[in-house]
């Protein structure tokens, strides 16, 4: 439908409803004129079509419910908003008739003919029953009234117009006559509303759109335009408003504030900060930008991200304001496409993912039932998964508050069922659904498999020994104790499975100079193969083999999977942390189900090589068809102070030429926090005065945050847990309580490990090794004599008798009996209630405040563990065996779940001070970062533990090394196969590069200040330390 004027703005809700109906149902053969003046009289609508007719409509938004009396054909009584009775005098049908003849007379005067024009009144909110019950026929005859019932469909509407046409005997106009009618309104000779609304922007706002971007020059600004934007916003449209004058932005903010009403109570809608007495630029679904230049000559607008030829001007706005063009284009990118988001540190990747999801829900019109099967997301941790669900829920809760649309509330409920989970949780879901394809039964259990693996290793070692060592001693030949060699084999296999390697899939284990390498080559693939087969036969899955089994599933009956899953979109967060097998699973899965991918990550933050991740993740995903992925780069940083970010950019760019870090696009700062302060501060020291200087620096940084009168966070970042403990001890010795790892993983807490040892003892209560483990928990107050236990070694009966003598748990035997017949969680709760392990734990602290604080932390962690065990049981009956498995898997695999325990009285004058490893703080931010240990040489082969494994992706060769059984001199010799020796030099460089990426992660945690310690002791020529990277002394 053609509409005039082009920049059509409709204030009246009744007129707007009529306009939307006509616009939706009629094509461009029909023309609609709105609010034109003829002889000083302004009509509502003139709706014309050459064959169908000319119609003059007067619109009244009355619903009829407030009409109390129809007096006659010129007067009605109605109840106003104050519940007072008012008179309305006049008749809309008579008005329409006057307007009609004004038009006819003007056409006759100018063009010499009298067209037939039909007139009617439209009541878009009044149905026929109300019309009859209120006796509206007396006021306006029903035959010329178009009611709500007539606007239900196009057919009803046309049927009504046909009745009206018969009343006026419409005659079709000639082409010339129809052109004359149009000319009357479109040649600008007439004083129309186009002149009255003089505005250079040709814009008609549809309030049902997802988003509007409007660049509004001050000369084009009218309250009517701004009010239309507010109306659209309140209907759920996301608004981006940019103007060349602050007066326009301020006027809009004032108009919004005056129309917030109850929304002002919610922080997400507070456009005015009453404490600071100033307006803010962003509230829910509304973003405002001031463009302080005059080089954009025309106002323009963009609907739903369809930018047309506006790309260049948007790039200009992006460059000169906080508007983020890449986030905008990503959010509105066309559906059914694959996307890679390369998101730098602090660039709002979570916001971008949430925005993309809400756009897809809008475009596909997904219901609350749809989203659970159409959209899935993989995150790196449970905490991230929960945060993503929380953010999505908050979006639709706010959307409901704003719009009062019931479907928004339904979506809030639907998000509970959306599949946002860690890779292992999603993998478990896939195995549960398709396990029968590889011979597993339904509800296959997950287990650690350590006992079964040890059994198989011993079996294959014994078989090898029987075949190859019939007449001589194997131990003498390989010079390694068998039980220690079995442990080496287990560790190698565990490291391979940690990287999701299935040996029979073309991987190569070669020999070395040592006989033991030959044995490993021969038996390791057999052990893994037997373990997988035994697991499937026992309807069990070893946790470390989940990914391997999923790949087997995807390589079997793909048609069944394709027709079972209805997934449209898979989102993957922290994609740089995926390994090769996980990437292959995603690609295979995509080929089968045909969903679209959106992956987000930052190769510069790839710091999990020990899990199989490497810096080529995106390259491997693109494969040989990179053109199939649209890549968006996010570089506007919303975390770090501009000045600090400029300093960091100068540092990062020096790393690229030497191939330490790929840093091609500089991060752009949005926040200006530091005034004349130094953003990066170097503290020089030598080892003799480190502790003294460290405490001085820490106190100075605490005081600096106090001066700013804010609750601040200081993070002391280190590489290892041992360094965390060192810093805590230095703090304690100087009267400063430094908290360790406040982003604590629940399963790494003392409460979790104590509970695990308790259920182990309950389950294996006839195994001395398990019950004596209780003495290393806070469930026992007694201890045992190591000498006494040594004297009865090997005698299980005497060991158990000794345990019963010294066991301080009075009801131990009672608990063992109850475990057999009562729900296990009831018995566990009884034990916890009886023994109160938090008080035993707190007893070790001398200071009363420390005792209180640590008791609360322990108790809260324990309560959260119990809650987690119940919630994740999936309505299954929890046995003691299942309880052991669940806790063992969570603890041994480092499952991520953030502890909710809060530190009590730990802040120093509202300043929170924590010490953590860099890995612990990934994704977090702190006002000040202190880095005390920047002097460690990163350019050396580190103490890598008992076993190390290397894998070459191209050749599929596996290299490994492990420590000898006995020391040679004061050191253990390392045994390596040929592949390890071949790749060892490359591995040293790859590790150094990872250390640089870890440093990058550490530095980008800072909001406004970085303090790093620089050892002035002369370094050796080959040494490369973090302080050298920061000093650009490479």
781 carries a ligand binding annotation: no
More confident residue, 600 or 868: 600
Is residue 15, in this structure, part of any structural domain at all? yes
Give a three-class secondary structure readout of 237-293: CEEEEEECCHHHHHHHHHHHHCCCHHHHHCHHHCCEECCCCEECCEECCEEEEECCC
Do both 886 and 920 map to the same domain?
Answer: no
More confident residue, 899 or 265: 265
350 carries a ligand binding annotation: yes
- pLDDT at 46 exceeding the cut of 90: yes
Placement of tokens 């992660």 in the chain: 1001
- pLDDT at 227 exceeding the cut of 60: yes
- SS3 assignment, position 948: strand
pLDDT in tens, 344-390: 999 999 999 999 999 999 999 999 999 999 999 998 877 788 889 99
DSSP string, 501-562: --TTTT-EE--BSSHHHHHHHHHHHHHHHHHHHHHHHTTEEEGGGHHHHHHHHHTS-HHHHH
Do 695 and 704 meet the contact criterion of CB atoms below 8 Å apart?
no
pLDDT in tens, 163-209: 998 888 777 888 888 888 888 887 543 333 333 333 445 556 677 89
> What number is the average pLDDT over the span 266-278?
87
- pLDDT at 956 exceeding the cut of 70: yes
- Structure confidence at residue 749 (pLDDT): 87
Distance (Å, rounded) from C-alpha 816 to C-alpha 763? 9
291, 323, 355: which is the final residue of a domain? 323
Across 423-427, 567-571, 894-898, 983-987, the highest mean pLDDT is recorded for: 567-571
Distance (Å, rounded) from C-alpha 967 to C-alpha 345? 45
Do 698 and 894 meet the contact criterion of CB atoms below 8 Å apart?
no
Do 707 and 385 meet the contact criterion of CB atoms below 8 Å apart?
no
Distance (Å, rounded) from C-alpha 414 to C-alpha 373? 11
Tell me the percentage of the chain whose pLDDT exceeds 70.
92
Sign of CA dihedral 623, 624, 626, 628: negative
Is residue 525, in this structure, part of any structural domain at all? yes
347 carries a ligand binding annotation: yes
Is residue 790, in this structure, part of any structural domain at all? yes
- pLDDT at 92 exceeding the cut of 90: yes
Distance (Å, rounded) from C-alpha 930 to C-alpha 698? 8
Domain count within the chain: 6
- pLDDT at 750 exceeding the cut of 80: yes
Tell me the percentage of the chain whose pLDDT exceeds 90.
44
> What number is the average pLDDT over the span 433-437?
83
> What number is the average pLDDT over the span 127-149?
93
Q: Which domain range does residue 22 map to? A: 2-196
- SS3 assignment, position 928: strand
142, 171, 196: which is the final residue of a domain? 196
Backbone phi, then psi, for 26, in 5-degree steps? Answer: -125, 140
Do 396 and 408 meet the contact criterion of CB atoms below 8 Å apart?
yes
Distance (Å, rounded) from C-alpha 959 to C-alpha 508? 9
Cα 995 to Cα 918, 919, 925, distances in angstroms: 11, 11, 20
Specify burial of residue 754 (Cβ count, 10 A radius: 0-12, 13-18, 19+): buried
482, 506, 538: which is the final residue of a domain? 538
Identify the CATH number of the domain in which residue 340 sits.
3.40.50.300
Q: Please name the helix (run of DSSP H) or strand (run of DSSP E) that holds residue 338, with its range, or none.
A: strand 338-343
Distance (Å, rounded) from C-alpha 395 to C-alpha 284? 8
Do 431 and 550 meet the contact criterion of CB atoms below 8 Å apart?
yes
Joined together, the tokens standing for residue 479 give: 């010079």
pLDDT in tens, 680-706: 999 999 888 899 999 999 999 999 988
Q: Which of 598, 711, 19 is nearest to 336 (CA)?
A: 598
Do 862 and 829 meet the contact criterion of CB atoms below 8 Å apart?
no
pLDDT in tens, 895-905: 767 676 544 44
- SS3 assignment, position 635: coil
DSSP secondary structure code for residue 768 in this structure: H
Do both 181 and 60 map to the same domain?
Answer: yes
Q: Which of 1012, 1026, 1025 is nearest to 716 (CA)?
A: 1012
- Structure confidence at residue 198 (pLDDT): 38
- End-to-end Cα, the chain, rounded Å: 68
Is residue 369, in this structure, part of any structural domain at all? yes
Q: Which of 35, 37, 53 is nearest to 45 (CA)?
A: 35
Do both 466 and 436 map to the same domain?
Answer: no
The answer, yes or no, to whether the previous bond of 362 is cis (omega within 30 of 0) is no
Q: Which residues pair with 47 in a beta bridge?
A: 32, 55
Do 345 and 1004 meet the contact criterion of CB atoms below 8 Å apart?
yes
Is residue 648, in this structure, part of any structural domain at all? no
- pLDDT at 241 exceeding the cut of 90: yes
- pLDDT at 230 exceeding the cut of 50: yes
- Structure confidence at residue 582 (pLDDT): 87
pLDDT in tens, 437-449: 888 877 777 777 7
257 carries a ligand binding annotation: no
Do both 756 and 796 map to the same domain?
Answer: yes
Do both 556 and 621 map to the same domain?
Answer: yes
Q: Please name the helix (run of DSSP H) or strand (run of DSSP E) that holds residue 431, with its range, or none.
A: helix 423-434
955 carries a ligand binding annotation: no
Mean pLDDT rounded to a whole number for the chain? 86
Q: Which of 659, 642, 720 is nearest to 919 (CA)?
A: 720
Distance (Å, rounded) from C-alpha 618 to C-alpha 490? 32
Q: Which of 367, 315, 360 is nearest to 334 (CA)?
A: 360
Outline where 555-641 has alpha helix (H): 558-564, 580-593, 617-622
Do both 387 and 461 map to the same domain?
Answer: no
343 carries a ligand binding annotation: yes
Do both 769 and 812 map to the same domain?
Answer: yes
Is residue 161, in this structure, part of any structural domain at all? yes
Do both 709 and 623 map to the same domain?
Answer: no
Q: Please name the helix (run of DSSP H) or strand (run of DSSP E) that holds residue 882, with its range, or none.
A: helix 880-892
CB-based contacts of 682: which residues, under 8 Å, 6+ apart? 1012, 1014, 1027, 1030, 1031
- Structure confidence at residue 1034 (pLDDT): 52
Do both 735 and 773 map to the same domain?
Answer: no
- 535-549, 719-733, 1008-1022: least confidently modelled range: 535-549
- SS3 assignment, position 85: strand
Identify the CATH number of the domain in which residue 845 sits.
1.10.486
Do both 681 and 630 map to the same domain?
Answer: no
Specify burial of residue 592 (Cβ count, 10 A radius: 0-12, 13-18, 19+): middle
Sign of CA dihedral 416, 418, 420, 425: positive
Do both 422 and 456 map to the same domain?
Answer: no
711 carries a ligand binding annotation: no
Across 6-15, 608-617, 961-970, 978-987, the highest mean pLDDT is recorded for: 978-987
- Structure confidence at residue 361 (pLDDT): 96
- Structure confidence at residue 199 (pLDDT): 41
Specify burial of residue 451 (Cβ count, 10 A radius: 0-12, 13-18, 19+): exposed
Q: Which residues pair with 78 in a beta bridge?
A: 67, 86
Is residue 647, in this structure, part of any structural domain at all? no
- pLDDT at 872 exceeding the cut of 80: no
Q: Within 13 A of 186's CA, how many CA atoms are on the CB side?
A: 14
Distance, C-alpha 581 to centroid of its chain: 23
Do 263 and 233 meet the contact criterion of CB atoms below 8 Å apart?
no
344 carries a ligand binding annotation: yes
- Structure confidence at residue 715 (pLDDT): 95
- 23-37, 500-514, 616-630, 935-949: least confidently modelled range: 935-949
More confident residue, 68 or 789: 68
Do both 372 and 352 map to the same domain?
Answer: yes
Is residue 202, in this structure, part of any structural domain at all? no
- pLDDT at 488 exceeding the cut of 60: yes
Q: Which of 945, 975, 947 is nearest to 489 (CA)?
A: 947
Across 28-37, 392-401, 658-667, the highest mean pLDDT is recorded for: 392-401
Joined together, the tokens standing for residue 986 give: 């490359």
Q: Which of 78, 54, 75, 49 is nearest to 64 (CA)?
A: 78
């Amino acid at each position: 439908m053609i509409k005039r004027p082009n920049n059509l703005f409709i204030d009246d809700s009744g007129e707007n409803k009529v306009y939307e109906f006509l616009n939706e149902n009629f094509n461009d053969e029909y023309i609609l004129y709105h609010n034109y003046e003829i002889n000083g009289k302004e009509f509502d609508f003139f709706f014309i079509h050459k064959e169908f007719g000319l119609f003059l409509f007067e619109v009244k938004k009355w619903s009829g419910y407030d009409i109390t009396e129809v007096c006659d054909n010129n007067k009605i009584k109605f109840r106003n908003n104050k519940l007072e009775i008012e008179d309305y005098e006049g008749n809309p049908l008579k008005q329409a008739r006057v307007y009609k003849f004004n038009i006819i007379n003007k056409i006759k005067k100018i063009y010499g003919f009298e067209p037939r024009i039909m007139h009617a009144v439209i009541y878009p909110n009044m149905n026929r029953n109300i019309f009859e019950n209120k006796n509206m026929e007396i006021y306006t005859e029903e035959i010329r009234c178009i009611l709500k019932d007539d606007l239900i469909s196009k057919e009803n509407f046309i049927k009504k117009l046909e009745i009206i046409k018969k009343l006026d005997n419409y005659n079709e106009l000639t082409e010339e006559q129809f052109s004359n009618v149009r000319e009357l309104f479109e040649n600008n000779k007439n004083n129309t509303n186009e002149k009255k609304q003089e505005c250079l922007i040709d814009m008609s706002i549809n309030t049902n759109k997802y988003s509007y971007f409007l660049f509004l020059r001050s000369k084009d600004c009218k309250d009517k335009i701004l009010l239309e934007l507010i109306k659209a916003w309140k209907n759920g449209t996301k608004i981006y408003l940019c103007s060349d004058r602050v007066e326009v932005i301020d006027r809009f903010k004032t108009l919004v504030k005056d129309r917030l009403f109850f929304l002002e109570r919610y922080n997400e809608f507070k456009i005015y900060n009453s404490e600071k007495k100033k307006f803010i630029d962003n509230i829910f679904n509304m973003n405002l930008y001031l463009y302080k230049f005059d080089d954009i000559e025309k106002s323009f607008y963009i609907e739903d991200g369809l930018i047309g030829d506006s790309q260049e001007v948007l790039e200009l706005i992006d460059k000169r304001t906080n508007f983020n063009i890449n986030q905008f284009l990503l959010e509105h990118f066309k559906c059914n496409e694959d996307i890679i988001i390369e998101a730098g540190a602090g660039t709002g990747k979570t916001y971008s993912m949430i925005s993309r999801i809400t756009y897809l829900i809008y475009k596909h019109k997904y219901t609350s039932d749809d989203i659970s099967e159409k959209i899935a997301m993989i995150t790196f941790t449970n905490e991230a998964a929960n945060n993503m669900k929380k953010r999505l829920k908050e979006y639709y809760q706010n959307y409901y508050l704003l719009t009062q649309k019931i479907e928004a509330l339904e979506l809030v409920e639907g998000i509970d069922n959306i599949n946002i989970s860690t890779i292992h949780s999603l993998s478990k879901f896939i195995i549960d659904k398709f396990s029968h394809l590889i011979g597993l039964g339904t509800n296959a259990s997950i287990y650690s498999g350590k006992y079964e693996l040890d059994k198989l290793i011993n079996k294959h070692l014994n078989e090898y020994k029987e075949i190859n060592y019939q007449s001589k001693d194997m131990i003498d030949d390989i010079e390694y104790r068998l039980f220690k060699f079995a442990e080496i084999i287990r560790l190698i296999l565990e490291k391979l499975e940690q990287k999701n390697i299935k040996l029979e899939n073309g991987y190569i284990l070669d020999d070395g100079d040592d006989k033991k390498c030959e044995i490993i080559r021969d038996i390791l693939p057999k052990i893994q193969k037997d373990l997988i087969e035994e697991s499937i036969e026992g309807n069990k899955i070893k946790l470390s083999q989940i990914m391997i089994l999923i790949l087997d599933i995807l390589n079997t009956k793909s048609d069944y999977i394709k027709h079972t899953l209805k997934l449209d979109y898979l989102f993957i967060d922290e994609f740089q942390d995926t390994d090769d097998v996980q990437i292959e699973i995603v690609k295979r899965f995509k080929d089968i189900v045909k969903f679209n991918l959106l992956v987000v990550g930052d190769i510069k933050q790839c710091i999990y090589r020990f899990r199989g991740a490497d810096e080529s993740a995106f390259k491997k995903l693109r494969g040989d068809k990179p053109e199939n992925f649209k890549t968006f780069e996010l570089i506007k940083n919303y975390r770090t102070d501009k000045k600090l970010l400029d300093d960091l950019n100068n540092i990062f760019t020096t790393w690229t030429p030497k191939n330490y870090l790929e840093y091609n696009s500089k991060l752009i700062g949005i926040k200006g926090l530091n005034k004349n302060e130094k953003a990066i501060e170097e503290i020089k020291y030598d080892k003799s005065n480190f502790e003294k200087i460290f405490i001085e620096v820490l106190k100075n940084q605490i005081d600096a945050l106090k001066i700013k009168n804010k609750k601040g966070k200081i993070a002391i970042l280190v590489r290892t847990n041992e360094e965390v403990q060192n810093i805590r001890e230095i703090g304690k010795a100087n009267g400063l309580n430094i908290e360790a790892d406040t982003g604590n993983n629940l399963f790494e807490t003392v409460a979790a490990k104590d509970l695990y040892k308790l259920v182990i003892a309950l389950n294996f209560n006839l195994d001395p090794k398990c019950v004596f483990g209780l003495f290393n928990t806070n469930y026992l107050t007694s201890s045992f004599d190591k000498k006494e236990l040594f004297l009865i070694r090997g005698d299980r009966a005497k060991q158990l008798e000794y345990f019963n003598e010294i066991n301080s748990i009075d009801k131990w035997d009672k608990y063992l009996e109850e475990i057999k017949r009562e729900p296990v969680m009831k018995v566990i709760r009884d034990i916890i209630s009886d023994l109160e392990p938090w008080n035993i734990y707190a007893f070790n602290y001398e200071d009363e405040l420390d005792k209180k604080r640590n008791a609360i932390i322990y108790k809260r962690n324990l309560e959260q563990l119990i809650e987690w065990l119940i919630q994740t049981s999936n309505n299954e009956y929890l046995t003691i065996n299942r309880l052991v498995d669940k806790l063992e898997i969570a603890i041994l695999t480092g499952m991520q779940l953030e502890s909710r325990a809060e530190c009590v009285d730990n802040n120093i004058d509202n300043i929170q001070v924590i010490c953590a490893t860099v890995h612990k703080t990934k994704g977090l931010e702190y006002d000040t970062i202190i880095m005390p240990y920047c002097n460690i040489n990163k350019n050396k082969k580190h103490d890598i533990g008992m076993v190390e494994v290397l894998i070459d992706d191209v050749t599929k060769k596996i290299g490994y090394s492990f420590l000898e059984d006995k020391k040679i001199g004061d050191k253990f010799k390392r045994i390596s196969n040929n592949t390890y020796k071949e790749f060892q030099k490359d591995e040293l460089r790859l590790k150094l590069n990872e250390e640089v990426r870890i440093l990058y992660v550490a530095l980008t945690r800072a909001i406004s200040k970085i303090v790093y310690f620089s050892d002035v002791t002369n370094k050796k020529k080959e040494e490369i330390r973090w302080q050298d990277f920061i000093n650009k002394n490479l």
